[in-house]
């Protein structure tokens, strides 16, 4: 049997009376980009938060590299190589750029004291080499709240990449971006693929997902409604199916 | 923390050097410069209007003797407020720590054990506050209004409202260490205040704990998403305040060698005012130790200054209020300008 980078088996999640996810089985292969499609409230974000350890599943099992992981927490998921670019970007806007890059995994010595110099240096390197920030107004000591939407997204993405992630999750990454910034982002997802890593890509825009994903998984009302390899389906058919699913809850 | 640092070894190809820019300096240290400005302006006004008092060393020795009693607590309170929380319980913690001190001394006649018992009581009360806030999700303002009454009540029940002399502690080793006079005049509690302030600064600005305090106060959702143990960090902040409050309680009581069950009641507003005067935002996410330190000295000096300047003591509160309101407006203005 092929060993998946990540696998969810029969996972359900309920919040009180509400069934957010029901009996989800999901696989992410090695070096695969999977697009997650679904209407608002279909359960995409809940699924992501299960994978990142933010929520624990009500039932079902999660496997990383064929190994079952119980009680997945956020630090544990990050240790396993899961990095996420959240819809809400998860930035602390009053704090400086370098503090945001190392948010939650500060470089520290054994007394817990911060290695501020290395963090500033690395931030500067990432800024100039990966983020492409050239504006002199942006430096490691800048407060993130003063950045543009695209710059903030850049911070969130670079942060995800810095820590040698194996699985990169992008939750609505094109939200609030300009056309140019969106094109940059799509290229960035292609780079993840080229670098031999895996990614889960969520977006409202089917076109973006179709262009970069190897496979799309359609989620509707907390269930997997179906999945297609992008090479086996054309964009028009996929769009028709998405509309049908939203109306009837059925793909065909 | 198991940060993966493998890519860190490939340090920057070009060295990062920040050119000095006045505008950026002002932006980064805006609120601290603001409060320093207020401080020196007030000082100048005091010196001009009462030169005999404010050009003599005695008044400064008096300030350094009494201001540390509440300024010490303002340091960890700053952290609590930066984390987006509030604590009104610490005056009762001061008294409860002293009750633990006295009960332990009565049982063991050991001042050292009594001192340890006081600090332990402070830690426990802080931990209890944090637990109520974190585990039961009660807003800290509400929770600590409750525990403030609870521990003050416990003090009254345990002491039956009776005050007592601590003259026995005056001969002990603790007295010169905590409230001695170096060279016959310099109060040691000032050294403790400076030590706590420096430790607080390191913890807040150069330690993982402080980084997480700022993040939680700034955006608790992203702190959670990024895997920070939000609950433990908040509890820790309350524990630190409890510990320092108990310590301040011992220092304050030994200074006068006397215990009143009402110990700490006069310090609530002064300590809070020091924090907010120093530029810490009530919404969390921003604040500095230096600001609080300066704020405490402004608060502590106003009382003596109003009298020295020739106004009656009745003016004190009015001037307190005026300076606090004006400073807080200044901070909001500076924060908007520097964002």
* Three-class secondary structure assignment of chain A: CCCCCEEEEEEEEEECCEEEEEEEEEEECCCCEEEEECCCCCCHHHHHHHHCCCCCCCEEEEEECCEECCCCCHHHHHHCCEEEECCCCCCCCCCEHHHHHCCCCCCECCCCEECHHHHHHHHHHHHHHHHCCCCCCCCCCCEHHHCCHHHHHHHHHHHHHHCCCCEEEEECCCCCCCHHHHHHHHHHHHHHHHCCCEEEEECCCHHHHHHHCCEEEEEECCEEEEEEEHHHCCHHHHHHHHHHHHHHCCCC
CB pairs A-B closer than 8 Å? 123
- Residue from B24, B217, B226, B283 whose CB has the most chain A CBs within 10 Å, to mutate: B226
Choose among B244, B186, B151, B177: nearest CA to B62. B186
Alpha-carbon gap: A241 to the closest alpha carbon of chain B (Å) = 33
Report the C-alpha gap between A235 and A239 in whole angstroms. Answer: 6
Q: Do B285 and A94 touch (CB under 8 A)?
A: yes
What is d(CA A243, CA A39) in angstroms, rounded to the nearest whole number? 9
In a domain, A224, yes or no: yes
pLDDT at B3: 42
Q: Is the pLDDT of residue B9 over 50?
A: no
Please check whether residue B336 touches A, CB under 8 A: no
Q: How far is CA A19 from CA A25, A121, B142, in A?
A: 15, 46, 34
Q: According to the model, what pLDDT value does residue B20 have?
A: 64
Give a yes or no: residue A142 inside a domain: no
3 state DSSP class of B180? coil
Please give the average per-residue pLDDT across B60-75, as a whole number.
93
Other CB atoms within 10 A of residue B103 CB: 16
Sort strands A67-68 and A82-85 into parallel, antiparallel or unpaired.
unpaired
Q: Is residue A120 domain-resident?
A: no
Asked if the C-beta of B225 comes within 8 angstroms of chain A's C-beta atoms, the answer is yes
Question: DSSP alpha helices (H): ranges in chain B?
Answer: 22-28, 30-49, 51-54, 57-66, 68-82, 90-108, 111-135, 140-159, 167-170, 174-179, 188-206, 208-218, 220-225, 230-256, 268-277, 289-309, 316-338
Residue B104: both structure tokens together: 């332990």
Asked if the C-beta of B28 comes within 8 angstroms of chain A's C-beta atoms, the answer is yes
Minimal Cβ distance to A121: which of B12, B207, B226: B12
Is the CB of residue B13 less than 8 Å away from at least one CB of chain A? yes
Which residues neighbour B232 within 8 Å (Cβ) at sequence distance 6 or greater? none
Nearest to B277, CA basis, from B24, B37, B29, B28: B37
Tell me the C-alpha distance between A34 and B87, whole Å.
48
* A2 backbone dihedrals φ, ψ, rounded to 5°: -70, 140
pLDDT of residue B4: 41
Q: Is residue A220 part of a domain?
A: yes
* Interface membership of A74 toward B (CB under 8 Å): yes
Residues 127-146 of A with CB under 8 A from B: 128, 139-141, 143, 145-146
pLDDT at residue number B259? 92
Domains of chain B by start residue, with CATH: 32-338 (1.10.3470)
pLDDT for the residue B155: 94
What whole-number distance in Å separates Cα of residue B325 and Cα of residue B283? 17
A139: in domain: no
With CB atoms and an 8 Å threshold, state whether B7 touches A164.
Answer: yes
Instruction: Please give the pLDDT value at position B103.
Output: 94
Q: Which chain A residue has the Cα nearest residue B222?
A: A90
Residue A105 to residue B1, Cβ atoms within 8 A:
yes
Are B335 and B30 within 8 A, CB to CB? yes
Distance CA B8, CA A153 (A): 22
Local confidence band at B2 (pLDDT 50, 70, 90 cut-offs): very low
Q: How many domains does chain A have?
A: 1
Query: Which chain A residues are Cβ-neighbours of B14 within 8 angstroms?
Result: 125, 128
The whole-angstrom separation of Cα B267 and Cα B288 is 20
Of B140-144, B163-167, B208-212, the one with minimum mean pLDDT is B163-167
User: CA–CA separation, A69 vs A61, rounded Å?
Assistant: 8
- Determine the pLDDT at residue B119: 96
Query: How high is the pLDDT of residue A192?
Result: 82
Given A79, A108, A122, which is nearest B208 (Cβ)?
A108
Chain A residues within an 8 Å CB radius of B8: 107, 118, 122
ipTM surpassing 0.85, yes or no? no
CATH number at A230 reads 3.40.50.300
| For residue B13, pLDDT beyond 60 | no
Q: Scanning every residue of chain A, which has its alpha carbon at the shortest distance from the alpha carbon of B230?
A: A104
Q: What is the pLDDT of residues B149-172, one digit of tens each?
A: 999 999 999 999 888 888 888 888
Domain extent at residue A175: 6-81+165-248
| pLDDT score, position A1 | 47
For residue A112, the distance in angstroms to the closest alpha carbon of chain B comes to 6
User: Any CB–CB contact under 8 A between B58 and chain A?
Assistant: no
**A79 inside 8 A of chain B by CB:** yes
- The reply to whether A95 falls in a domain is no
Q: Could you say which of A52, A95, A124 has the minimum Cβ distance to residue B215?
A: A95
Band (B18; pLDDT cuts 50, 70, 90)? low
Low pLDDT (below 70) residues in chain A: 1-2, 88, 131-137
- Which residues are within 8 A (CB) of A8 and not within 5 positions of it... i.e. 6 or more apart? A24, A25, A26, A27, A47, A50, A51, A60, A61, A62, A63
A162 contacts in chain B (CB < 8 Å):
7
Non-local (6+) Cβ contacts of B157 within 8 A are none
Q: How far apart are CA A132 and CA A188, in angstroms?
A: 13
Chain B positions in Cβ-Cβ contact with residue A140 (cut-off 8 Å): 16
Confidence grade of residue B12 (pLDDT, cut at 50, 70, 90): very low
User: If pLDDT is split at 50, 70 and 90, which confidence band does B16 have?
Assistant: low
Residue A149 forms part of a structural domain: no
């Amino acid at each position: 049997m092929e060993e998946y980078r990540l696998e969810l088996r029969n996972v359900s999640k309920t919040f009180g009376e509400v069934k957010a996810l029901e009996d989800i089985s999901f696989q992410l292969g090695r070096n695969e980009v999977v697009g997650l499609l679904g209407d608002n409230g279909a359960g995409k974000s809940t699924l992501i938060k299960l994978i990142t350890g933010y929520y624990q599943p009500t039932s079902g099992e999660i496997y990383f590299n064929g190994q079952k992981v119980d009680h997945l927490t956020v630090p544990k998921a990050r240790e396993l190589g899961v990095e996420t670019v959240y819809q809400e970007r998860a930035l602390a806007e009053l704090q400086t750029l370098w503090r945001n890059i190392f948010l939650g995994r500060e470089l520290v010595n054994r007394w817990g004291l911060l290695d501020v110099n290395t963090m500033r240096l690395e931030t500067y390197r990432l800024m100039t080499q990966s983020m492409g920030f050239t504006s002199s107004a942006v430096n490691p000591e800048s407060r993130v709240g003063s950045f543009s939407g695209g710059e903030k997204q850049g911070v969130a993405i670079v942060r995800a990449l810095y820590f040698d992630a194996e699985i990169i999750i992008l939750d609505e990454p094109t939200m609030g971006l300009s056309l140019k910034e969106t094109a940059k982002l799509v290229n960035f997802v292609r780079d993840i693929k080229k670098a031999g890593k895996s990614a889960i890509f969520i977006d409202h825009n089917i076109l973006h997902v179709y262009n970069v994903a190897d496979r799309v998984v359609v989620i509707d009302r907390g269930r997997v409604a179906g999945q297609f390899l992008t090479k086996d389906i054309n964009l028009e058919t996929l769009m028709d199916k998405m509309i049908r699913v939203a109306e009837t809850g059925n793909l065909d | 923390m198991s940060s993966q640092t493998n890519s860190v070894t490939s340090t920057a190809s070009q060295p990062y050097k920040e050119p000095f820019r006045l505008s950026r300096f002002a932006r980064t240290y805006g609120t601290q410069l603001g409060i320093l400005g207020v401080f020196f302006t007030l000082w100048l006004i005091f010196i001009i209007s009462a030169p005999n008092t404010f050009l003599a060393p005695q008044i400064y020795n008096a300030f350094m003797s009494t201001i540390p009693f509440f300024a010490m607590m303002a340091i960890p309170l700053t952290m609590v407020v930066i984390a987006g929380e509030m604590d009104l319980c610490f005056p009762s913690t001061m008294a409860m720590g002293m009750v633990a001190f006295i009960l332990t001394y009565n049982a063991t006649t050991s001042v050292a054990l009594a001192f340890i018992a006081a600090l332990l009581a402070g830690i426990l009360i802080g931990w209890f506050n944090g637990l109520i806030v974190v585990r039961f999700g009660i807003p800290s303002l509400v929770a600590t209004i409750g525990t403030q009454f609870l521990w003050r009540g416990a003090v009254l029940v345990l002491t039956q409202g009776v005050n007592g002399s601590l003259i026995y502690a005056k001969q002990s080793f603790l007295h010169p260490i905590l409230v001695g006079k170096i060279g016959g005049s310099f109060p040691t509690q000032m050294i403790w205040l400076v030590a706590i302030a420096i430790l607080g600064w390191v913890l807040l600005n150069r330690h993982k704990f402080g980084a997480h305090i700022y993040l939680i106060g700034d955006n608790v959702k992203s702190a959670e998403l990024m895997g920070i143990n939000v609950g433990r960090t908040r509890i820790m902040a309350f524990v630190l305040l409890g510990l320092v409050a108990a310590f301040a309680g011992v220092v304050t009581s030994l200074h006068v060698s006397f215990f009143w069950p009402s110990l700490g009641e006069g310090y609530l507003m002064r300590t809070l005012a020091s924090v907010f005067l120093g530029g810490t935002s009530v919404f969390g996410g921003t604040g500095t130790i230096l600001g609080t330190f300066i704020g405490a000295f402004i608060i502590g000096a106003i009382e003596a200054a109003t009298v020295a300047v020739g106004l009656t003591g009745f003016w004190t509160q009015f001037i307190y209020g005026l300076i606090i309101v004006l400073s807080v407006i200044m901070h909001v203005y500076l924060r908007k300008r520097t964002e």
